[in-house]
Amino acid sequence: MRGMSETETSAPLLPILIYPNPVLRKTARPVTALDADDVRALVPSMFASMYKAPGIGLAANQIGSLLRVIVVDVAPKEQPAPIALINPEIIVKSGETATQEEGCLSIPDQYAEVTRPARVKVRYQDLNGMKKEIEAEGLLSACLQHEIDHLNGVLFVDYLSVLKRNMLLRKLAKAVREQKAR
Q: What pLDDT, on the 0 to 100 scale, is given for residue 8? A: 47
**For residue 12, which amino acid is it?**
P
Rounded Cα distance between 124 and 135, Å, is 11
Please check whether the domain covering 6-99+118-155 is classified as CATH 3.40.120.10.
no
Q: Indicate which residues carry an active-site annotation.
A: 147
58: enclosing H helix or E strand: strand 57-59
What residue segments make up the domains of the chain, in order of their start?
Answer: 6-99+118-155
Digit-coded pLDDT (tens) for 98-117: 999 999 999 999 999 999 99
| pLDDT value, residue 1 | 35
pTM: 0.93
The pLDDT of residue 9: 60
Residue closest to 178 by CA, chosen among 99, 115, 170, 47: 170
Say which DSSP state 165 is in: H
Which ranges of the chain have pLDDT less than 70? 1-9
Bridge partner list, 99: 115
Query: Which residues have C-beta within 8 Å of that of residue 106, sequence separation ≥ 6?
Result: 16, 17, 18, 19, 21, 24, 62, 150, 155
Question: How far is Cα 176 from Cα 110, in angstroms, rounded to an integer?
Answer: 12
d(CA 172, CA 20): 10
Of 114, 97, 99, 118, whose CA–CA distance to 154 is shortest? 114
Residue 182: strand, helix, or coil = coil
pLDDT at 7: 39
The whole-number pLDDT of residue 182 equals 85
- Measured in whole angstroms, how far is the alpha carbon of residue 9 from the centre of its chain? 19
Residues 121 and 134: beta-carbon distance below 8 Å: yes
Rg (CA), the chain: 16
